[in-house]
């Protein structure tokens, strides 16, 4: 399996957002180091999710970037995405692996070492670990786990750990020092005045 990109751009489909514009700005900067995870609101229809994922994949492929679909693995299969991401409210990891097949990239959410180890044993290719810091993007999250939480999970598994939750370029160094392979962001790119510049700042923090 090719190495996993270090910057995971999670699409923001809230009112006023333009997820494709953000993807188009990030791709020429991050190129193969970019993973675009198509994440849509719960009230988004499958047809809307399919149309967005199909367009994201088409943008990603020429740059060697990875296209994943959050939650809706049937949409990932339908658009021939590189894989998907599941959490506690989605298909269990073992079932998700059966759906996507052995070659797919399959991410799983973990917040502590036990869940993380079980997810890897069940077939996860990488782990999304957080929330690292406070975030207003998603409600109902547990308390932030900080770099210490990343360190605890990274010590327990041998797959890439992707830190998520309130991540900015300024917080990347501590997360990498704690063992994160990369980071996942929503607001740091979707709310940026210049998403291309924000991508460059995140990539610089991930590669220095």
Ligand X SMILES: Cc1nc(C(=O)O)sc1CCOP(=O)(O)O
- Residues sharing a CB contact under 8 Å with residue 57, sequence separation 6 or more, in sequence order: 67, 79, 80, 81
Residue 131 as a binder of ligand X (CB under 6 A): the answer is yes
In whole angstroms, the minimum distance from the beta carbon of 39 to Mg ion comes to 8
Cα–Cα distances in angstroms (integers) from residue 161 to residues 57, 73, 153, 158, 195, in the given order: 23, 21, 8, 9, 24
Residue 163 DSSP SS3: strand
Q: Could you give the CA distance from residue 71 to residue 106 in angstroms, rounded to a whole number?
A: 11
Binding residues among 5-64 for Mg ion as defined by CB under 5 A: none
- 180 makes contact, choosing from ligand LCLJCK34, Mg ion, ligand X, none, with CB < 5 to 8 Å by partner type, with none
Q: Which does 185 bind (CB under 5 to 8 A by kind): ligand LCLJCK34, ligand X, Mg ion, none?
A: ligand X
Q: Which does 107 bind (CB under 5 to 8 A by kind): ligand LCLJCK34, Mg ion, ligand X, none?
A: ligand LCLJCK34
If one asks whether residue 14 binds ligand X (CB under 6 A), the answer comes out as: no
Number of neighbouring beta carbons within 10 Å of residue 74? 14
Task: Pick what 8 binds: Mg ion, ligand X, ligand LCLJCK34, none; C-beta below 5 to 8 Å, kind-dependent.
Answer: ligand LCLJCK34
In the set 5, 83, 123, 130, which binds ligand X (CB under 6 A)?
Answer: 130
Closest CB to Mg ion among residues 39, 57: 39
Is-contact 25 195, C-beta < 8 A?
Answer: yes
C-alpha neighbours within 13 Å on the C-beta side of residue 24:
6
d(CA 157, CA 114): 10
Greatest Cα pair distance in the chain: 41
Q: Token pair of 78, please?
A: 């339908």
At its nearest, how many Å lie between ligand LCLJCK34 and the CB of residue 101? 20
Q: Binding site membership: which residues?
A: 70-71, 90, 109, 135-138, 166
Interacting residue ranges for ligand LCLJCK34, rule: CB under 6 A:
8, 10, 37, 39, 70-71, 85-88, 90, 107, 109, 128, 138, 162, 164, 184
Between helices 195-207 and 19-30, what is the axis angle to 10°? 40
The residue among 30 and 184 lying less far from ligand LCLJCK34, judged by its C-beta, is 184
Residues 39 and 13: their CA atoms lie apart, in Å, by 8
Q: Does 141 bind ligand X (CB under 6 A)?
A: yes
List of residues contacting Mg ion (CB under 5 A): 71, 87, 90
List of residues contacting ligand X (CB under 6 A): 10, 109, 130-131, 135, 137-138, 141, 164-167, 185-188
């Amino acid at each position: 399996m090719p190495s996993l990109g270090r910057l995971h751009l999670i699409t923001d489909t809230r009112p006023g957002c333009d997820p494709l514009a953000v993807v188009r700005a990030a791709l020429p900067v991050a190129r193969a180091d970019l993973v675009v995870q198509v994440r849509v609101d719960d009230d988004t229809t499958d047809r809307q999710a399919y149309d967005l994922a199909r367009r994201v994949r088409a943008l990603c492929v020429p740059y060697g970037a990875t296209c994943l679909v959050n939650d809706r693995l049937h949409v990932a299969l339908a658009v021939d995405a590189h894989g998907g991401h599941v959490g506690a409210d989605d298909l269990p990891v073992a079932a998700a692996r059966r759906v996507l097949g052995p070659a797919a990239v399959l991410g799983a959410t973990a917040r502590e070492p036990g869940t993380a180890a079980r997810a890897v044993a069940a077939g996860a290719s990488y782990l999304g670990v957080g929330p690292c810091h406070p975030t207003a993007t998603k409600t109902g999250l547990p308390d932030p786990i900080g770099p210490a939480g990343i360190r605890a999970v990274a010590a327990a598994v041998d797959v890439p750990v992707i830190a998520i939750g309130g991540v900015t370029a300024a917080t990347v160094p501590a997360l990498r020092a704690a063992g994160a392979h990369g980071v996942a962001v929503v607001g740091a790119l979707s709310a940026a005045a210049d998403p291309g510049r924000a991508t460059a700042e995140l990539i610089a923090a991930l590669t220095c």
